[in-house]
Structure 1
Amino acid sequence: MISLGVLFLLGLCCQILQAQNEWTAPILDARSPKKIGFGAVGGGSSHYLWVMEILQELASRGHVSTLYTRKDSLRFAKDYPNVQTQAIGGDANFLALKKESPGVVNPHFKHPNYSPAAGVKLILPALLANYSNEYNDYMSMIKRNKIDLMICDMFAFACIDATTLSKIPLTITSTVAFSEDATTGYVNNIVPSFPIPTTEYMTIRDRFKYFFHRVYSPYVSRQLQLPTHEFQKQQGLPISDSIYRSHQDAFKIVNNMFGLEVPRPLGPLVQMVGPILRKKYDALTPALTTFLDSHRRVAYVAFGQHAVPTEQDTEFLVHSLVQALKDGHLDGVIWASAPKHPVPVIPRATEILVTGWAPQFAILQHPSTALFVTHGGAGSVHEALFNKVPLFVFPFFGDQPVTARMVRQQYLGDYIPTAGIQYTKATLEELTERIRHVLTDPTIKKTVPHFGDAVQIRSLHAVQRAADIIEELTVAAIDGKVLHLSDVGRRISWIKRHNLDLVGVSVGFATGLGWFVCKVVRLLKISKKIKTL
């Protein structure tokens, strides 16, 4: 005879099995293969490689990912076998120095000291040189290939305009949060001519100057009478009158993080997903391995693909680094010199290794690397901080001067202002002192490892976060607009949005009340005088 206890246990097991059969799990049915393109007109690796990582991830999820760019920039896709490529916009990266106009972009690579208006005159014609053909190519390509979403680099104006007119979702990529929905009244976003990140330490004169150029620069660009502007008028497109155009319906993915960007509120269509790093990098060469293994405190010097140091730059930096070697703050230097860079003249009996191309990430990852002397490009800064290497920034152009100031503000290193630099004894002494400061300052030594940990954690799933955003946009957008991410403030008048009507009513009420009180007091005084007569 079965005991009551056994029957109870059997009944309990049946209930558990029945409850398990009643459970259900979420079913994902939103994902289907999409055609996703990325358009760019040039720039260095910081405009391409991190986006290629996102495209590779999207391809692994079953989407068709394609890079559309100038012919000489298709090389950025060589390590991404799942990403298709197609040349659009001609043969040359917009930064390539063309024989017919050798002076158009070259000065921008050095140490410009010009106003925003001058910057527009220098850069905008190069960006728009092939706009009409590029725009038509994008329009036909989007229609022919039935593209579901376009990712456009911040400088790819033709890509941006064609995507907008095609009414498909648009995502703009950059390493700086430049758009109107990423700025505030205290954040400066005209680079390179205003390298001060915020108004916190600006005088009222400088703030007026900044405000003037925000208004004046678009006017200057319209006076250039570029063929592109006439074409845009004919097509009913917005005029490209700024290097940094804002698009209120586009999503902006920024490969950066607060600390290197000024902390402030961002709009719902802006996401900082960075730093995004590559999955794999080139290893050290035997010669570099031997050099690094035989030293304990090495400075690594490199200026990226497009910055062009002058002979005086090179001479001053060599002098300062040799002094750091003499003082015992360093025991070695690796200097990576690009083909167009001046070759540094190295004093005898100094531990300085001059090389051509160098595996930058591997050098920064080596425990002997104690300092990175850099131009301040986004990719270089991210790689250094991931490996917890202090920075000395020698900026040239673009967002580099702003990054340099942020590096100092966050105690991640130091910099020297180079806009219109004068090669004097005082400048050399300042350069030497600031490099020494990075190597010896206890606050920098304490801060860099903590910030590096934050960079590492943020980079863990950065690619996946960005890919999730792209997938969300492909399924949620209606006629190119993502309504659930639209800022409600855009539907409210400027006066009501800033509660100026409440301020006006309050001021009016307070003024009226004050007037009434004054009248009453006055009447009481008159009444009192009458009684005393």
Structure 2
Amino acid sequence: MAQPKRLLVIVAGGGYTNAAPLLELSSILANRGYMIDFATLAGRQQWLSNCPFVSRLHIVGPAIPKEHEEESYERMSQWATNSICNWSTVFAAKKYLESSWHYVYHDLTQLVLDPATRPDFILADYLVDAVRDVCFEHDVPFAMHWPQMPTGMMHASYIPGIPGLQVEVLTSEFATLWQRLRNAVRIYTALPNLLEYQHWVKQMRQSAGVFRQLPLLPRPDYLCLVNSFFALEAAKEIPPNVAAIGPVLADNVDKLTGPFSSFLKSRSRVLYIALGTHVLFPHRVLADLLSGTITALRAGIIDGIIWAVSPKARRKLDTSALLPSPTYSGNEITLSSLLENKHPSILTAKFAPQRPILHDPRVAVFISHAGASSTNEAVVAGIPVITLPAYFDQIQNAMRLRDAGVSVPLQKETLSASDVTAAITRILDDIRSDGPVMANVRRVCGIARIATHRKYLAVDLIEEVLIDWQGRQRERQLGVERPRGMHLETAEARMPRWKARNWDLFGFMVAPVLLVAAITMTLFF
């Protein structure tokens, strides 16, 4: 009897939101008979508490020290979202997220070399570059999961600058000449930081005995599964080995219970605030955000606030700071009283069950940092969003939600309490009048809910690639002279540019014309 195929899922940089979509895909593969192993850094065992389908856990590196993690995310949160020259912050963040490479490379190599643990296929988070190295060296098929279309790849003439690193605009369609120029020149301002980062990567790789560099790819040379869809992503041509398979979410939404259910019982226009586990805004930003939301509450625009604020974010707050009273008759309140839930119209929690809250019809609007998971959960729930991004793909997701017509964008650098109140008012007025925001919310929600079925396409593609790889491997064993490429990879990716672009053919056709022209000019002139 044939042994079941072993799939290894690996997540290193990033948090649980990086792992959740991969575990959802793994559960489908487990139902199809695959054995699922999971590899990650130490201290993350709790991620598998609801994953009985995972047969083995492999630790491929030490836990990141808590103080280092908080320091890094605090530095990232200082990212200037309205600037084209954030490169020192960008590359510092990349170093942090990639700092476990040498541990992962070494331990993953050991897993692959051991027949007892060698996987038949690896499904990796996009931050785990060591997978590309190990799979190349030891001939293991793999796929990488990206939360958005891969950054810096699959350029298009109508996408200004570097894909995934645009500022202000996602496409050139309605962009001014100045906006297109800013995006076009942005990458050149990164040169000093890029060179320093490449030197750092080279040293890290050489310390592990790896002296080649991973190539910068114009398009992925692996199966790329993008956890998004083309009502958020700007539509563009993609090769067959890149698939938009998101939003990847569990089929069922948990029932709302506990204090959240009780809080919503007598309300109909609740504002939900969640700015992510790792976003560490300074006190000023959070104070303005809260002042603006409480002003909207006092004016009756909304009738309740749920605020999920992580312990790390709480430590950045001045709890003695004064905020407006939730009622006209009251005096100012302290932030500490808010965190202690002393005001009946405001519920704060260190953790909130986000999907059940967003799906509750009594929740009217969502203030979000526009992280990948929050973005997908919001559009599937069909709720308008007020975005306040901090760093990385949050900035792009905020632009995607804006261009999809389902959000009101805010910027942390220019945020004021009145901006927040105005954004909430705009959303609630649109809900009452069934305006364009709600029309787009229903449109995008409908598309997103259909797109959630594409997680099964992702699993089908994984199985396709595995079957294709097995066949090509057998061909090589039989000594077939001409190697066959992955069936989803276009021939262009395996050809020199001059041949793929037919430059030689063009030259062959143009040369006689130029020769005749030269002879004619010589004879008559």
* TM-score bucket of the superposed structures, by smaller chain: 0.7 to 0.9
1:484 CA displacement: 1.4
1:120 CA displacement: 4.7
Pairing 1:398–2:392 present: yes
**Cα distance change on mapping 1:193 and 1:228 into 2, 3 Å:** farther
Q: Which secondary structure does the structure 2 equivalent of 1:151 belong to? A: strand
**Equivalent residue, structure 2, for 1:108:** 76
Give the distance between the partners of 2:133 and 2:86, measured in 1 at CA: 24
Q: Which secondary structure does the structure 1 equivalent of 2:33 belong to? A: coil
TM-score using structure 1 length = 0.80
The answer on whether the counterparts of 1:374 and 1:393 sit within 8 Å (CA) in structure 2 is yes
**Equivalent residue, structure 2, for 1:485:** 488
Which structure 2 residues correspond to residues 191-202 of structure 1 after superposition, within 5 A?
A: 194=167, 196-200=169-173, 201=175
Letter in structure 1 aligned against 2:108: Y
The answer on whether the counterparts of 2:294 and 2:325 sit within 8 Å (CA) in structure 1 is no
Letter in structure 2 aligned against 1:149: F
Letter in structure 2 aligned against 1:184: A
Give the distance between the partners of 2:34 and 2:498, measured in 1 at CA: 44
1:401 CA displacement: 0.7
Which structure 2 residues correspond to residues 313-332 of structure 1 after superposition, within 5 A?
A: 313-332=285-304
Pairing 1:436–2:436 present: no
Q: Which secondary structure does the structure 1 equivalent of 2:44 belong to? A: helix
Pairing 1:206–2:182 present: yes
**Cα distance change on mapping 1:193 and 1:306 into 2, 3 Å:** farther
1:309 CA displacement: 2.4
* Residue of 82, 95, 103 corresponding to 1:125: 95
**Equivalent residue, structure 2, for 1:451:** 444
**Cα distance change on mapping 1:348 and 1:137 into 2, 3 Å:** same
**Equivalent residue, structure 2, for 1:237:** 212
Q: Deviation per CA, 1:33-54, whole angstroms, max 9, x where unpaired?
A: 2111011113123211111011
Give the distance between the partners of 1:56 and 1:109, measured in 2 at CA: 34
Structure 1: any 5+ residue segments left out of the alignment? 1-28, 524-533
1:161 CA displacement: 1.3
Q: Deviation per CA, 1:12-34, whole angstroms, max 9, x where unpaired?
A: xxxxxxxxxxxxxxxxx9x9721
1:191 CA displacement: 5.3
The answer on whether the counterparts of 1:302 and 1:337 sit within 8 Å (CA) in structure 2 is yes
The answer on whether the counterparts of 1:321 and 1:432 sit within 8 Å (CA) in structure 2 is yes
1:217 CA displacement: 5.3
Give the distance between the partners of 2:502 and 2:299, measured in 1 at CA: 60
Letter in structure 1 aligned against 2:21: W
Give the distance between the partners of 2:264 and 2:219, measured in 1 at CA: 47
**Cα distance change on mapping 1:400 and 1:195 into 2, 3 Å:** farther
**Equivalent residue, structure 1, for 2:306:** 334
Which structure 2 residues correspond to residues 307-318 of structure 1 after superposition, within 5 A?
A: 307-318=279-290
Give the distance between the partners of 1:507 and 1:314, measured in 2 at CA: 65
Give the distance between the partners of 1:413 and 1:246, measured in 2 at CA: 32
Which structure 2 residues correspond to residues 143-158 of structure 1 after superposition, within 5 A?
A: 143-144=113-114, 145-158=117-130
**Cα distance change on mapping 1:127 and 1:360 into 2, 3 Å:** closer
Letter in structure 2 aligned against 1:437: R
Letter in structure 2 aligned against 1:468: D
Give the distance between the partners of 1:272 and 1:218, measured in 2 at CA: 29
Give the distance between the partners of 1:154 and 1:397, measured in 2 at CA: 17
Q: Which moved more, 1:35-44 or 1:84-93?
A: 84-93
Q: Which secondary structure does the structure 2 equivalent of 1:176 belong to? A: coil
* Residue of 450, 453, 462 corresponding to 2:454: 462
**Equivalent residue, structure 1, for 2:15:** 44
Give the distance between the partners of 1:513 and 1:438, measured in 2 at CA: 69
Letter in structure 1 aligned against 2:223: F
1:293 CA displacement: 2.0
1:124 CA displacement: 3.2
Q: Deviation per CA, 1:512-531, whole angstroms, max 9, x where unpaired?
A: 999999999x99xxxxxxxx
**Equivalent residue, structure 1, for 2:340:** none
Which structure 2 residues correspond to residues 46-445 of structure 1 after superposition, within 5 A?
A: 46-93=17-64, 97-98=66-67, 103-112=71-80, 115=85, 117-144=87-114, 145-178=117-150, 182-187=154-159, 188-189=161-162, 194=167, 196-200=169-173, 201=175, 203=178, 204-213=180-189, 218-224=194-200, 227-231=203-207, 234-239=209-214, 248-342=220-314, 347-350=324-327, 351-418=345-412, 421-422=413-414, 427-441=416-430, 442-445=435-438
Q: Which secondary structure does the structure 1 equivalent of 2:443 belong to? A: helix
Give the distance between the partners of 1:76 and 1:195, measured in 2 at CA: 36
Give the distance between the partners of 2:288 and 2:509, measured in 1 at CA: 61
1:56 CA displacement: 1.3
Larger Rg: 1
Structure 2: any 5+ residue segments left out of the alignment? 328-344, 477-483
The answer on whether the counterparts of 1:372 and 1:390 sit within 8 Å (CA) in structure 2 is yes
Q: Deviation per CA, 1:381-424, whole angstroms, max 9, x where unpaired?
A: 11121111101111011100111111111111111133xx146x
Letter in structure 1 aligned against 2:74: N
Percent of pairs with identical residues: 22
**Equivalent residue, structure 2, for 1:19:** none
Q: Deviation per CA, 1:204-254, whole angstroms, max 9, x where unpaired?
A: 53134234257665423124476413236x4243258x8xx7774211111
**Cα distance change on mapping 1:488 and 1:32 into 2, 3 Å:** farther
Letter in structure 1 aligned against 2:419: E
The answer on whether the counterparts of 1:53 and 1:278 sit within 8 Å (CA) in structure 2 is yes
TM-score using structure 2 length = 0.81
Letter in structure 1 aligned against 2:265: D
Give the distance between the partners of 1:205 and 1:431, measured in 2 at CA: 31
The answer on whether the counterparts of 2:369 and 2:388 sit within 8 Å (CA) in structure 1 is yes
The answer on whether the counterparts of 1:49 and 1:278 sit within 8 Å (CA) in structure 2 is no
Give the distance between the partners of 2:386 and 2:163, measured in 1 at CA: 23
Letter in structure 1 aligned against 2:278: H
Q: Which secondary structure does the structure 2 equivalent of 1:484 belong to? A: coil
Give the distance between the partners of 1:389 and 1:364, measured in 2 at CA: 7
Q: Deviation per CA, 1:311-335, whole angstroms, max 9, x where unpaired?
A: 1121111222223334443222111
**Cα distance change on mapping 1:142 and 1:258 into 2, 3 Å:** same
Aligned residues: 480
Give the distance between the partners of 2:38 and 2:242, measured in 1 at CA: 22
